[in-house]
Each structure stands twice: as structure tokens, then as C-alpha cells.
Amino acid sequence: MRILIINWRDIRDPEAGGAEVHLQETFSRIVASGHQVTLLCSRYPGASENDCLDGIEIIRFGGKWTFNLAVPWFYRRHLAHRSFDVVIEDINKIPFLLPWFVKDIPVMVLLHHLFGTTFYRQINPLPATYLYLMERLIPWVYRRCPFEVVSASCRDELVGMGVPAGRISVVHNGLDAAIIDAPATPEGKEAGLIVYLGRLKKYKNVDHLIQAMAIVRDEVPGARLVVAGTGDRRPALEALTRALDLEEAVEFAGYVSEPEKISLLTRAEVAANPSSKEGWGISVIEANARGTPVVATRVAGLRDAVVDGETGLLTPLGDRKAMARALIGLLREPEERERLARNARERSRRYTWDDTARQTIRVIRHAMGESADAR
């Protein structure tokens, strides 16, 4: 198959996130199985126009603010003649509306999560309204397209918007073998260590976790939080940490390498994710693979990744006291924490990128009207 993917970013973009990890891990395996994959994405400062990574041809043009507007022109001028078998639109905030201008080949949608009203928690109301309304177009513009989503929550949201359930396939994210098979650290779990792993964006609600830490420290004085990740909210979060006199309890690690991430998740007794919404929660399953249960908010995506009371604990969105109580309970009760950790570790082994790639090929075949069993 000759596959064209259109996405805002590639994995080398400094602002790349979970969607780009999914794209690279999944489609590099699809390339390895004998297919051709081209990625069209925006340029970032210092990036070349043409690149190749793990067999994926990368074409970059435009900036992050103009890319979606220029996609139709660029496709018609530079790519339409290349006879792709399928075009995959990786929707991330703003749809490219590909079915309006790609008429001769199938269009498939890859969707990680819908933002909905979360836009209003992240940016000012004017652009938030624009983005919200663009998302509302999805059931109409893509009504004849097959969808691949990463969680049941995302599927249910699409169905609620009017997308037929029969057009939606749920294919979970996978895990890299390195994080599954990495050995335990010689020192084992670090008493009182809590880890947050993710971008520092407003809708991620890391401020709620820091506020919860003020309560945790009253009950577990040795507890400390490592915040691993980058984003525009870091200065505000650091200011909040100082205001709460938590400088000794909260460490901002910034970007961490893969070995550093594995070490952190292995040493942590508990991980936390207070986000308003996720597509699935790769960081949750990564923590689970390292024997670390997760305390998360009961929201779309995270309630798919965390089995409440079995692999971690879910708390109401925005309830700092409930999150603090859950963290305190797990830090104080090693037997319960280990029970959740065993369950979490076992469940995490279900998810591999190889399986994600195999299932994605089936969805693509379906989009092309071929048999799902075709090789």
C-alpha cells in the first residue's frame, strides 16, 4: 500500500506529543511490513523540508499557524499525482477537512481525542469557539469515512456527535518493548516519590496536583513530586510551587530522555494524571508497565487507561482533596499499592505497538474496501 498521512507535526518537532509518538511507532512498523508511508506535516524552526525517519518519508511545509490553511493547495499541487492508495487524516484540534478536496482516493480518520469545551480551559474564548465549531463539523464532513480511535471513550463521543458506530474502530496505543522489559532499578521504589509525566499545558491541570501536594505533605512529610515534561505553563506552575512553599517537595525535571523516564517511573511509588481529558493515556500504561499504579481524574481517556480500584484510582475532575486522599492512601498502604501495581503490570502487557500496527493495517484495508485478511 502507498499511504499518505497528514498531521500537524512529526516526531522530531519540539512540540510533538502522544499523537506523534503513536504515528511514528505505528507507521514505522507498517513500513517494515512492506508498505510505503509518506507524512505531510508543518515545519518547525531549523527543520528541513524533506526528511526520512524509520522508512517514513517526511515532507514539511508551512508553519503551525498556516499549515491547515495551505494543505489543500499543497496536496493538489505536489501530491495528488503520486497515486496514493489511501489518505489518513490525523485530526489534532483542527480538522483539515480532507474529504472536501480529496475525491479520487479513500480518506481515513485517525483520532486521538476530541477537545470539546476543553478548548475554553486552554485558550481565550474567540479561538476556542472557532476550534470548537470546527470539531462540530466532523460528523458532517467525514460522514462517509472510516475512523480509527484510541479508546472507547473517544468512540462514544463520536457516536454522540452523530458518527455511526459501525464506522469506528478502537485500536489502543501500544508500549515500546524497552519500557516493558527494562530491569528494576537497584534501589527499588523510592519512598514517597510521586511522578507526573506529560506536557505542561493548562488543560493538563498540573496546578491541581501541586495544590494536592500541599495536603499530601501534611500527612506524608517525606512525599515529593517530580514533574517531568515541558510546556508553556511551567513558569506559572513554578510560581504556584513557591507560593505554596513547596520548593523542597516539587521538582521540575523538564524534558527527560527515554532512559530517564523509565528510571523515574520505575522508582516512583505512584504516578498522577490530573488532566481534563486524554485520548487514552500512554503515560498511564507506561507507568503501569514499570509496576507503578496511577491516580488520575475520572475523565474521557483516563477512565479507559485506569481500571478504578484494580490498576489505579480515579478521582473527580478538579477535586484536589480527593486526589490528595488517593495519593496519601497509596503512599501509606504498601500492600494495597502493590496489589494495584501487580494488576497494572499484568494489564500493561496487553498493549504493544506491533499489535497496534497490525490492527491499523486492517482498518486501512477496510478503508480501501479490501478484505481485512488481505496481506
pLDDT digits (tens, 9 = 90+) for 194-246: 999 999 999 999 999 999 999 999 999 999 999 999 999 999 999 999 999 99
Residues 233, 199: Cα–Cα separation, whole Å: 9
Place of cell 480518506: 107
Identify the residue with better confidence: 182 or 320. Answer: 320
- Tell me where in the chain the CATH 3.40.50.2000 domain(s) lie: 2-174+352-367, 177-348
| Residue-level pLDDT at 370 | 56
pLDDT digits (tens, 9 = 90+) for 296-325: 999 989 999 999 999 999 999 999 999 999
Closest CA to 193 of 311, 275, 291: 291
pLDDT digits (tens, 9 = 90+) for 191-206: 999 999 999 999 999 9
| Residue-level pLDDT at 73 | 93
Average pLDDT of the segment spanning 49-58: 97
Average pLDDT of the segment spanning 144-163: 94
Confidence tier at 117 by pLDDT (50, 70, 90): confident
Average pLDDT of the segment spanning 37-51: 96
**Lowest model confidence (mean pLDDT) among 111-125, 126-140, 257-271:** 111-125
Confidence tier at 186 by pLDDT (50, 70, 90): low
DSSP state of 150: S
- Cβ neighbourhood burial of 187 (10 Å; 0-12, 13-18, 19+): exposed
Identify the residue with better confidence: 127 or 154. Answer: 154
Strands 224-228, 147-149: pairing kind: unpaired
Please give the mean pLDDT across all residues of the chain. 93
Residue 373, pLDDT above cutoff 60: no
CATH for 2-174+352-367 is: 3.40.50.2000
Cα 365 to chain centroid, rounded: 24
177-348: which CATH architecture? 3-Layer(aba) Sandwich (3.40)
